[in-house]
Structure 1
Amino acid sequence: MTATADPSASTSRKSLAQQLELDMRLIGMIGAFVLLCLGFHLFTGGNFLTPRNIFNLTIQTVSVAIMATGMVFVIVTRNIDLSVGSLLATCSAVMAMTQTVILPQFMGVPLGSLVIAPVAIVAGLLTGALIGAVQGWLVGYLAIPSFIVTLGGLLVWRNVGWYLTNGQTIGPLDPTFQLFGGTNGTLGETASWVVGVLAAIAAVLALVSARRNKIRHEFPVKPMWAEFVMGVIVVAAILGFVAVLNAYDIPFNRLKQMFAAAGQTMPEGYTAGYGLPISVLVLILVAVAMTVVALKTRFGRYIFATGGNPDAAELSGINTRLLTVKVFALMGFLAGLSAVVASARLTFHSNDIGTLDELRVIAAAVIGGTALAGGIGTIYGAILGALIMQSLQSGMAMVNVDSPFQNIVVGLVLVFAVFIDIVYRKRLGVKK
C-alpha cells in the first residue's frame, strides 16, 4: 500500500500561514537571537540576561542601529556606503571642536552654556548630510560606482577628522551633550513607564488602524484572535523592556552625587533605576520615522521602485539621480546622529571612533534581510540585525574570546546569513 499526503491538510496549513501573514524569516531571526542570548546566559553563569548587561547592550547597539536604518535605503537602491564609519568620525570631530574650541574661544560662549550642545549637534548633522549629498552627487550624476566613491570616502573622511583635531583626543564634552550617550542621560523609572505605556497604546492603535485600512480597501485580514495575540505580544515586549531597564539600579555613590549636586540629602535606603536611555529613545524615534518614510511616503516608494528596476523607475518619471543624492544625504545625516550618540557615550572624541563601523552597519542590514541585489529590505530587520551583531560580540567578550577570533566569527556569521537569505528567497521564488 502506498502512502499519500493529504492535500487538504497541506492546503489548510498553507492557508493558515497566509492568513496570519507570518514572516518566517523574521521569526527565524528572532528565534536565533533568543537562542543566542540563552546560550551566552548559560556560558556566562547567568550574567548575560541581567538588567545591567541588557542596559549596556542597548546603548552599545544604538549607534550602529541608527546607521543601519539608513544603509537599508542605500542598499535597496543597489548602492553601498563604505564611508559611514569615517563619516561618523568627521562629524564627531566637528562637534567636539565646536564645543571645546569654536564656541568658547572664538565666539565667547561660556563653557556649560545650554547653547553649546544644540549648536554642536546641528553642526554635526549638517556636516554629515552635506558630505553624504556630495557623495550621492558623484554616484548619481557622474555615474561613479558607489563602491569606489565611498571607498575613497572611507580614507578621506577618517583623515579629515584627524586633521580637524590635530590627532588629539578632545574632551570632556559638554555635560548636556553627554546626555545622549546613555548612562549619563536616562529618563528615570516614572518617565520610562509613561513612555512605555504611550508606546504600547500607539502600537495597539497602529494595529487597529492597519486592520481598518485593509477592511476598507477589501484586502484580506488576519483572524481577530491573531490580531489580539499580536497586540498582546507587542505590548508585553514594550512593557517588559521598560521593566528590565528600570530594574537596573543606579549605583549608591552615583545617587549620592546626584542628590549632592541638587543640594539635597539622599533618604536612607533610597534606590532608583536608570530607566530608558535617551539614546535608545532616539533610536526608537528614528526607527518609527524611517519606517513611515519607507511605507507611507512617495520618497520611500521611489526608493524601492528604483531598487526593484532602475530602468523602469526612470522611464516612469522618477528622477533616480536626484533620488540617489537624497538617499546618500540621509545616510550622512544618520551618520552624524550616530556620531552624537557614540561620542556622548564616550564623553570625548577619539580619533578611532567609528572604526570598522561601516562593516558592522552593512552586516546588520544584510543579516536583517536587506538584499544586496537591491529592492528588498526592512527597517526593523536592520535594527534586529544590529542587535544580533552586538549581542554576539558582547557575549563573546564576556566568555573571554579574544578580539581576532570575534572578528572571525562575525565574518562567518555574515556569510552564513547571506547564504540563508539566498536559499530562503529561492524557495519563495524571489530572484533577488
Structure 2
Amino acid sequence: MTDTTSDTPANPPADRARASELSTVGRFLKATELDTRMLGMVGALLIIWIGLHVISSLRLGVNPLDFDSRTFLTPRNLWNLSVQTSAVAIMASGMVLVIVMRNIDLSVGSAEGLIGMVMGFAQVHFLVRMVGLELGNPWIWVLALLIGLALGLLIGAFQGFVIAYLEVPAFIVTLGGLLVWRGAAWWVTSGQTVAPLDATFQLMGGGPAGSIGAKWSWIVGAVACVAVVFALFNGRVQRKRFRFPLRPIWAETLLGAVTCAVIMGAVWLANSYPWPVGIVNRYAAANNLTVPEGGLFIAHGIAIPVLMAIAVGLVMTFITKRTRFGRYVFAIGGNPEAANLAGINTRWITMKVFMIMGVLATIAAAISSARQNSSTNALGTLDELLVIAAAVIGGTSLAGGSGTVLGAMLGALLMQSLQSGMVLLGVDSPLQSIVVGAVLVIAVWLDTIYRKRV
C-alpha cells in the first residue's frame, strides 16, 4: 500500500528529511507510533513465558514443542494466570494515578482484606441472619457489593483527606492504614474465616460457572475487533480534521490486524480450556445430556474476572487520557506548584484519586474472595507490594508525572507470570520473594536509564 500522508500539509519536507535519516526500525516505529517501552515489556513477557515453558518441559523430560499439559504454555495454565492477574491488575490501574501524583498507597492490600471480610460477613451473617434475607436471594450479592464499595470509598476518602488537607505524607498515612485495616479485618469476625459466599457472588471469581463460554467469548472477541477498527478509523478522521500528522495506511492496517489477531488468539486460547471431567458429568446428568465415548468438551471461555479487569482498564484509560480530571492528575504530578498556581484544586484531586483507589480495592476484594469462596484474614496480604511493583515495572515514574494504565496492567501480568511459573517449577517461597524483589529493582534501574536517554 502507498503512503497517503506525504502530500498532506501536516508532513512538511523537513519532517520527511528527518524521517529519511532514521534506520528501518526507527522509520517503522515512527510510522506506527508504537511505544518502545511498551514493546520492551511485551518482549520481556514473551521471553519469560518461553523460558518458563522450556524449563518446565525439560524438568518433566518432555519436548517443549509437545506443549504437555503440565508445562507453562498451556490453555489451562494461561487461563488460570489471567484470572490470578485480574485483582492485582485492577488495583495497579489505580496505583498509576497515585504514583503519578508523587504519592504512594501502602494500604491497598490491607484495605482489600478488610473490604473482602466485610462483604463476606454481610453475605453470610448480616444480610441473612440480621436483615432476614433468604439464602439465594438475588439481592444478597448486590447489597454486599454496595456495602463494600461504600466502605472502599470511605477508606479512600479518609486517607485522601488526611494526606491532602491535613498534609500528612502519603507514606505515613498509608503505612498506618496498612496496620489499621489489617487489624480491623481480624476484628470483624475475631479471626474466623467466613464461608461459603453467595453463589452469584462467586461468579466474579471465575471457574466453570464464572466464565461466559465459547459462543459468547467469540462474540466478545468480534465486538472488540470491530471496536479496534472503529477506533483507528475515528482517530484518523480526527487527525485529518485538526490537520495532525497521519499514520501511513499500511501502519494503520498492520496495527489493526495485529491487535485483532491477538484478541482472537486470546479467545481461542480461553476456549481451548475445557471444564473438568467431573463437573462436565454432573452438568450432563443435570441437563439430561448424553456424554460421548471420548467425553464431552465444554469450553470455559473468557473468565468474568478477566472481563472485569479489561472493563476497569478501559475506564481508567479513558479517565487518564480523555478527561479534565486525568489531565489535572498528570499536571499535578509533573509540577505541583505550577498546577496550584494555574488554579487546579490539587487537594480535592488528591482526595479523589485515593477514593478511586478505594473503589478499585473493593472490586479486587470481590474477585479475590469470590475465587476462594471465602473471606479470610490473609486476603490481600502483600498485595500492596505486587500492585506497586506492577505499576513501576509498567513504566510509572516514582518521580511523578508519567505512567500508563496499560503498562501497569502488563506489569501485573509479568509479575504474576513470574510467580505462577516459579510455583509450577516448585521454587521455594523465600526464593520467589528474592526473584520478585530483584526484578523490581532491575526494572526501576532500566527505567532510569531509559528516561536519561529520551
Q: TM-score range by the shorter chain?
A: over 0.9
Structure 1 segments (4+ residues) deviating >3 Å: 7-17
Q: Which of the residues 256, 277, 301 maps onto 1:275?
A: 301
TM-score of the superposition, structure 2-length normalised?
Answer: 0.91
Counterpart residue number, 1:39? 51
Indicate yes or no: 2:210 matched with 1:185.
Answer: yes
Counterpart residue number, 2:354? 328
TM-superposed CA distance for 1:15, in Å, is 5.0
TM-superposed CA distance for 1:10, in Å, is 3.8
State the distance in 2 between where 1:157 and 1:207 align: 44
Q: Which amino acid aligns with 2:415?
A: M
Q: Which of the residues 218, 222, 234 maps onto 2:247?
A: 222
TM-superposed CA distance for 1:270, in Å, is 2.5
Indicate yes or no: 2:442 matched with 1:413.
Answer: no
* 2:284 and 2:291 in contact (8 A); partners too: no
Q: Which amino acid aligns with 2:124?
A: T
Q: Which amino acid aligns with 1:242?
A: V
SS at match of 1:44: helix
The C-alpha deviation readout for 1:225-256, integer Å capped at 9, x for no partner, is: 01100000100000100000100011121012
TM-superposed CA distance for 1:16, in Å, is 4.8
5+ residue gaps, structure 2: 1-17, 58-66
TM-superposed CA distance for 1:315, in Å, is 1.1
Counterpart residue number, 1:159? 183
Indicate yes or no: 2:149 matched with 1:137.
Answer: no
Structure 1 residues 123 and 259: CA distance shift in structure 2, 3 A: farther
SS at match of 2:196: coil
State the distance in 1 between where 2:392 and 2:221 align: 29
Counterpart residue number, 1:340? 366
TM-superposed CA distance for 1:258, in Å, is 2.4
Counterpart residue number, 2:418? 392
State the distance in 2 between where 1:257 and 1:154 align: 43
State the distance in 2 between where 1:198 and 1:38 align: 30
Counterpart residue number, 1:239? 264
State the distance in 1 between where 2:95 and 2:152 align: 14
TM-score of the superposition, structure 1-length normalised?
Answer: 0.95
TM-superposed CA distance for 1:267, in Å, is 3.9
Q: Which of the residues 222, 246, 251 maps onto 1:197?
A: 222
Structure 1 residues 358 and 8: CA distance shift in structure 2, 3 A: closer
Counterpart residue number, 2:12? none
Counterpart residue number, 1:302? 328
Q: Which amino acid aligns with 1:264?
A: N
Counterpart residue number, 1:424? 450
SS at match of 1:376: coil
The C-alpha deviation readout for 1:105-144, integer Å capped at 9, x for no partner, is: 0111011111111111111111111101100000000110
Counterpart residue number, 2:35? 23
Report the more deviating stretch, 119-128 or 361-370: 119-128
Percent of aligned positions that are identical: 51
TM-superposed CA distance for 1:295, in Å, is 0.7
State the distance in 1 between where 2:299 and 2:375 align: 28
State the distance in 2 between where 1:42 and 1:157 align: 42
Indicate yes or no: 2:344 matched with 1:318.
Answer: yes
Counterpart residue number, 2:110? 86
State the distance in 2 between where 1:12 and 1:104 align: 67
TM-superposed CA distance for 1:211, in Å, is 1.7
State the distance in 1 between where 2:423 and 2:200 align: 31
TM-superposed CA distance for 1:400, in Å, is 1.4
The C-alpha deviation readout for 1:5-38, integer Å capped at 9, x for no partner, is: xx99644655553332121111111111001100
Indicate yes or no: 2:395 matched with 1:382.
Answer: no
State the distance in 1 between where 2:367 and 2:441 align: 29
Counterpart residue number, 2:385? 359
Counterpart residue number, 2:94? 70
Indicate yes or no: 2:219 matched with 1:207.
Answer: no
State the distance in 1 between where 2:264 and 2:73 align: 17
* 2:19 and 2:27 in contact (8 A); partners too: no
Q: Which amino acid aligns with 1:54?
A: L
SS at match of 1:387: helix
State the distance in 2 between where 1:264 and 1:17 align: 56
* 2:123 and 2:140 in contact (8 A); partners too: yes
The C-alpha deviation readout for 1:76-97, integer Å capped at 9, x for no partner, is: 1110000000000010011001
State the distance in 2 between where 1:74 and 1:246 align: 36
SS at match of 1:253: helix
Count of paired positions: 421
Q: Which amino acid aligns with 1:310?
A: P
Q: Which amino acid aligns with 1:198?
A: V
TM-superposed CA distance for 1:374, in Å, is 0.5
Q: Which amino acid aligns with 2:93?
A: T
The C-alpha deviation readout for 1:21-57, integer Å capped at 9, x for no partner, is: 1211111111110011000011111411100000110
Counterpart residue number, 1:249? 274
* 2:52 and 2:72 in contact (8 A); partners too: yes
CA RMSD for the aligned pairs?
A: 1.3
Counterpart residue number, 1:175? 199
SS at match of 1:219: coil
* 1:256 and 1:266 in contact (8 A); partners too: no
